[in-house]
Structure 1
Amino acid sequence: MVRFVEDGGESERLAPVTPLFGGTSAPDRPRSATTAPVRSSAWGRDAGRPERPGRADERRADPDETADAVDAVDAVDAVDVADLAEAAEKRLLRKLRTRSLSVMEARRVLREADLDAAAVDTLIDDCERRGYLDDAALAEQLVHAAVDRKGQGRRAIAQTLAQRGVPREVADAAIAALPDDDSERALEFARSKARSMRGLDRDTALRRLAGQLARRGYGSQSLSAAREALDELG
């Protein structure tokens, strides 16, 4: 407040207020005639308005419409599951075209496709019924390949069948069906390898030949077959 002297006496009047940032002081600022008052409401511009009749009923869910929506979602899910199963089956069949699989290997392929247990069982049963999966036939195929092409003994063959997921009883039956024993096959294999060891001394040749036989699963027959083959070679 500033005191002014007026007509020989003092009077008290407020000095004009100077805005800090150069704008027009609040009392002197003209108010626009077109400026609408600001509506203050925590709920937006519809707050405080009376709700028109029937509006709440429109927002309330219709039981029939809800049931239809649930059925529609279930139908979409069923289609998704069917598509997933079809894709998994095609993937399995592509693998079966390249080589035979055991049931355990086929299950692993289907589980990688994110199928549930029931869907996996259904596809496995279907493939077995159609002859695409047969553990007994696979075991027989692996046994003959191990004997004819690799010259393996029973121990190595059993390991191969176990690694491929062939059940133990099926593997034992396939190995028991071999026409000869390990001794004959071990000696035959040793004879085929002994010729390449002519330039080695006997101890070195015996050690290498017996090691090759052992790695092919001949076990206790390895050393005796190696000795006999080297003796025949002279």
Structure 2
Amino acid sequence: MIRDDGGEESLAPVIPLFVGGASTGDRMSARDGGAARRPDDDASAWNNTWAERAAGASGTGGTSGWASGSGGASATPGAGEAFADADPGAAEEIAAAGEATLLRKLRTRSLSEREARDVLRGSEVDGDAAEEIIGRFLGHGYLDDAALAEQLVHTAVDRKGQGRMQVAQTLKARGLPREVIDAALDAMPGDERERALEFARTKARSMRGLDREVALRRLSGQLARRGYGGASLEVARRALDELDRPAVRGVRFEP
């Protein structure tokens, strides 16, 4: 370069920052008698810094896209669950919605404890919240397995004419505990055979005029389906015998 006064002016040399060779400060230290750093010291330090940042971001589930390579979103498994756990407001809303659903179902019919838990599980209420709701409903009397068993026995015996075996199956299907079922069966009213005979007498009247064997097969089948077990055939035969027996008329004495 030519200066205005005609002399020559030299340019300062261009020193690369990371490629080949030491920095200007290193050269000055060398001239001053200090120990010059190796050419790759700067690059090594820069690489270590980047690696630490990347490791810190990926190891803690951070959202730095350049470190994780996921465009800013964490790819750590279970991240959705962690987010749900970190948002108690959402969990409370789910629990409130599940409780409302359970109340609506209880307005239409009684439920066992197991059925109530199934309703809450279907509403995605978590375990702790579900148990808290069940506990409150038990305290208020909204859920009562013993009362439900008594109600089911009454319906089965008085309205449907069912026997012990069918009643037991009904109680089990509603999810009632074994001890509750046993207590309800022991408290069933009357004699099992007498209840079966009463039911058979009622049905036998509608079979008047049928062939004896046909009537016996149909009547014993109805008794078996209602849970009267091995007594069904005997009870059906007795009911048909009574139906065929001529009515006893009183004797009139004339003066």
Shorter chain as normaliser: what TM range? 0.5 to 0.7
Deviation string for 1:168-200 (max 9, x for gaps)? 110110111012121011000000000111121
- 1:79/1:190 CA distance change after superposition, 3 Å: same
Pairwise CA distance, 1:127: 0.5
Deviation string for 1:29-87 (max 9, x for gaps)? xxxxxxxxxxxxxxxxxxxxxxxxxxxxxxxxxxxxxxxxxxxx889711111111111
* 1:152 pairs with 2:162: yes
* 1:229 pairs with 2:239: yes
Contact 1:135–1:166 under 8 Å retained in 2: yes
C-alpha separation between the residues in 2 aligned to 1:100 and 1:173? 19
The equivalent residue for 1:199 is 209
C-alpha separation between the residues in 2 aligned to 1:175 and 1:88? 33
Tell which has more relative contact order, 1 or 2 (C-alpha 8 A, sep 6+): 1
C-alpha separation between the residues in 1 aligned to 2:210 and 2:113? 47
* 1:103 pairs with 2:113: yes
Matched residue count: 164
Residues 211-226 of structure 1 mapped to structure 2, 5 A cutoff: 211-226=221-236
C-alpha separation between the residues in 2 aligned to 1:119 and 1:74? 14
Q: What root-mean-square deviation, in Å, do the aligned CA atoms of Structure 1 and Structure 2 show?
A: 1.8
C-alpha separation between the residues in 2 aligned to 1:181 and 1:158? 16
Q: TM-score, normalised by structure 2?
A: 0.62
C-alpha separation between the residues in 1 aligned to 2:171 and 2:229? 17
The equivalent residue for 1:161 is 171
Structure 2 gaps of 5+ residues are 1-82, 245-255
State the 4+ residue runs in structure 1 displaced beyond 6 angstroms. Answer: 73-76
C-alpha separation between the residues in 2 aligned to 1:148 and 1:75? 51
Residues 159-198 of structure 1 mapped to structure 2, 5 A cutoff: 159-198=169-208
Residues 71-86 of structure 1 mapped to structure 2, 5 A cutoff: 77-86=87-96
C-alpha separation between the residues in 1 aligned to 2:166 and 2:154? 13
Pairwise CA distance, 1:147: 0.4
The equivalent residue for 1:92 is 102
C-alpha separation between the residues in 2 aligned to 1:212 and 1:109? 34
- 1:75/1:180 CA distance change after superposition, 3 Å: closer
Q: TM-score, normalised by structure 1?
A: 0.67
Structure richer in helix, relative to its length: 2
1:139 is paired with a residue of what secondary structure?
helix
% of aligned pairs identical?
Answer: 64
C-alpha separation between the residues in 2 aligned to 1:144 and 1:221? 21
C-alpha separation between the residues in 1 aligned to 2:241 and 2:149? 36
C-alpha separation between the residues in 2 aligned to 1:140 and 1:94? 22
Residues 49-64 of structure 1 mapped to structure 2, 5 A cutoff: none
Structure richer in strand, relative to its length: 1
Structure 2 residue corresponding to 1:137, chosen from 147, 159, 166: 147
